[in-house]
Copies of this chain bind each other. A is one copy, B any other.
Amino acid sequence: MTIRGNTRLIAHIGYPTHTFKAPMVFNPYFEHAGIDAVVVPMGCQAAPYPAFLKAVFSLTNIVGALITMPHKVATVALLDDTSAAVKIAGSCNAVRRAADGRLQGDLFDGEGFVRGIRRKGFKVEGARALVVGTGGVGAAIAASLAHADVGSLTLFDVNAESATRLGERLHHHYPQLRVSTGSNDPAGHDLVVNATPLGMKDGDPLPVDVARLAPETFVGEVVMKDEMTAFLKQAAARGCRYQVGTDMLFEQIPAYLEFFGLPSTTPEELRALAKISY
């Protein structure tokens, strides 16, 4: 990769930066595809972030920004336009500047999840979905499922109020959607998503009672620590189709590329080119 004067920038903003993976995913693709752009890690703490976000979008060669911890929530209030996914999840991980100078934000975790299960043959429209865990990533997945015309959503979180509030925000944006909260029973669902951190540590309990998972149920995972978490292994053993955590990651990259107006590609090519392994 040769960086030249006119190379366009995607600012990858967060702190700490040592866990950033986007540079090793986007940049090898840009080099391979001859796209004169580069993702640059910019370590920024909370206090200077509002001023930095504004300043970095004053650059003439900025394409957009990837926003990560701890700024995904704070970003929402700094933008001119936000997508429904941002409003529902209350967080934002992608920012661009429109031609008129307005800062626009979107959130692609959930979009990546939905693209992935669709490409694996799961029909989202009308499906009965259970999302366990209504923190940032769970809310993003719920919002994207709603946007993709899921039939009903069951939301569960150990913090019951979190699930209730997410249900209210979903209802506000998608009044026709059936939303219920309070149970993590996977029975009767076409799609069951683990959006909790359970599976990050050895010995974690499972997010749902897998004995009540039907073999026809499609199972999705957000934990990326292992390709096959204990939850996925047990679901697969019951005959369930499934999606692993890193699929959500690679499926969302094309959505970012489209958002930034850059030539896009497949998750498979991105994964093959990436200078990281999972």
Residues of A with Cβ closer than 8 Å to B? 1-7, 9, 15-21, 23-24, 27, 38-45, 48, 51-52, 54-56, 58-61, 275
Closest 4 CB pairs of A and B: A5-B20, A43-B60, A48-B58, A55-B55
Closest to A3 in B: B23
Contacts of A44 in B (CB 8 A): 58-60
- Tell me how far the C-beta of A63 lies from the nearest C-beta in chain B, rounded to whole angstroms: 12
Q: Determine the distance from Cα of A7 to Cα of B224 in the docked complex, in whole angstroms.
A: 24
**Given A4-B23, A41-B7, A275-B2, CB of A55 within 8 Å of CB of B48:** yes
Number of copies: 2
Closest to A22 in B: B5
* Contacting pair B41 A40 (CB below 8 A): no
Contacts of A60 in B (CB 8 A): 15-17, 43-45
Contacts of A52 in B (CB 8 A): 55-56, 58-59
| Cβ-neighbour of A3 out of B41, B54, B61 (below 8 A) | B41
Can you list 25 A-B contacts (CB < 8 A)? Answer: A2-B23, A2-B24, A2-B27, A2-B275, A3-B23, A3-B38, A3-B41, A4-B20, A4-B23, A4-B24, A5-B16, A5-B23, A6-B17, A9-B40, A40-B40, A43-B60, A44-B59, A44-B60, A45-B60, A48-B55, A51-B51, A52-B56, A55-B55, A55-B56, A56-B56
- Tell me how far the C-beta of A11 lies from the nearest C-beta in chain B, rounded to whole angstroms: 10
| Cβ-neighbour of A19 out of B5, B7, B38, B54 (below 8 A) | B5
Contacts of A48 in B (CB 8 A): 55, 58
Contacts of A24 in B (CB 8 A): 2-4
Q: Determine the distance from Cα of A44 to Cα of B15 in the docked complex, in whole angstroms.
A: 24
Q: Determine the distance from Cα of A21 to Cα of B3 in the docked complex, in whole angstroms.
A: 10
Q: Determine the distance from Cα of A48 to Cα of B9 in the docked complex, in whole angstroms.
A: 17
Q: Determine the distance from Cα of A39 to Cα of B15 in the docked complex, in whole angstroms.
A: 20
* Contacting pair A55 B51 (CB below 8 A): yes
Q: Determine the distance from Cα of A59 to Cα of B214 in the docked complex, in whole angstroms.
A: 50
Closest to A52 in B: B55
- Tell me how far the C-beta of A182 lies from the nearest C-beta in chain B, rounded to whole angstroms: 39
